[in-house]
Amino acid sequence: MKIYETNDNEEYIKFMSDYKEPIMKEQTNVHLDLTNTPLLVDVPNIDMLSNEEYAMLRKNGLGTSDASVILKVNPFITITELIAEKARTYLTEEEKAVGDEIAVKKGRDLEPLIIQKFEYFFGQKNWKPSDMYVHKDFPYLKFNFDGVTGTSEQYIPCEIKVVTKKGERHYNPSKAMFIENVGWRPLPPNHTKSNNSIQTKAALYGIPPYYYTQLQQQILGLNAPFGYLSVLFENTWTFMTFFVHRDERVITDIIVEGAKVWDLIEKERGKK
């Protein structure tokens, strides 16, 4: 598998010329070719599940959104709360209501639009996989992808988010690699090789730390050299994409700390 250093735009252009898929295939029943990844299909066709069925499914492993909790950079939920949530064999009323929250429904409805904008501006296909995946070597790590671009030889994850007016303060648009109505910008330096905290690294890329960790777990799953965070700023209706290099240190921490947390979850389940 080819892996290029992506410290400047010239190498990035070389990489993309090798891994560019024409925008031709329909966005239905998308099943990734996992040959060049460490993934297996865990649950097929999760888009057919109800909100409650999907919520129960998420209890069976640590998804990419859980990485920020495991690494203690999520301001909304603690590790203790995550363990209790995963250990329960039922859904609380609060968990049942998550799928009906306005922010969740807004993100779900606008996700296809953001993917469409990515495809238009980047000139390449961005798939929404239909399956949930599991890591071959670390089966407690599960993967759902908002978007995947590139080709089966080298997939690249593309996390999709809607940014509310309140959430804008967590982003630095000047760090984006592409801004709608502005154009392309230089790629960021590789900040992952420093000993900085996750919070500092994320800020250097211009994104929230909890999406930095989420993207790193997705990079692990696809064995990718980098990933994208594509967002739509709700207040200005502006599409932006941020480029993030692979961070081996954070990926190792996700694996190691994830194993510890999952062990605690299984022990808690054993008490019930």
Q: How many helices (H) and strands (E) does the chain have?
A: 9, 10
**In this predicted structure, what is the pLDDT of residue 3?**
41
Q: Domain tally for the chain?
A: 1
Q: Which of 5-19, 130-144, 191-205, 245-259 has the lowest mean pLDDT?
A: 5-19
Quick one: 271 exposed, middle or buried, by C-beta within 10 A (0-12, 13-18, 19+)? exposed
In this prediction the pTM is 0.91
CA distance 131 to 180: 30
Residue 130 lies in a domain: yes
- Name the H helices within the chain: 9-18, 51-57, 67-70, 79-87, 93-97, 102-122, 198-205, 209-222, 248-271
CATH number at residue 85: 3.90.320.10
Long-range contacts formed by 10-19: CB under 8 A, 24+ apart: 12/187, 12/243, 15/225, 16/124, 18/153, 18/154, 19/150, 19/151, 19/153, 19/154, 19/156
CA distance 57 to 44: 12
User: Residue with structure tokens 């480029």?
Assistant: 243
Residue 12 lies in a domain: no
54-69 confidence digits (pLDDT tens): 989 999 999 999 999 9
Q: Containing domain of residue 169, as a range?
A: 32-271
Over 90: is that where the pLDDT of 233 sits? yes
CA distance 138 to 256: 10
Residue 2 lies in a domain: no
DSSP β-ladder status, 148-151 and 126-127 = antiparallel
Residue 26 lies in a domain: no
CA distance 157 to 244: 10
**In this predicted structure, what is the pLDDT of residue 147?**
97
25-62 confidence digits (pLDDT tens): 555 679 999 999 999 999 999 988 988 899 899 999 99
- Contact present, 222 and 156 (Cβ < 8 Å): yes
Residue 25 lies in a domain: no
CA distance 73 to 81: 14
Residue 8 lies in a domain: no
Residue 61 lies in a domain: yes
The per-residue pLDDT of the chain, averaged, comes to 91
Over 70: is that where the pLDDT of 2 sits? no
Quick one: 234 exposed, middle or buried, by C-beta within 10 A (0-12, 13-18, 19+)? middle
CA distance 223 to 218: 8
Residue 148 lies in a domain: yes
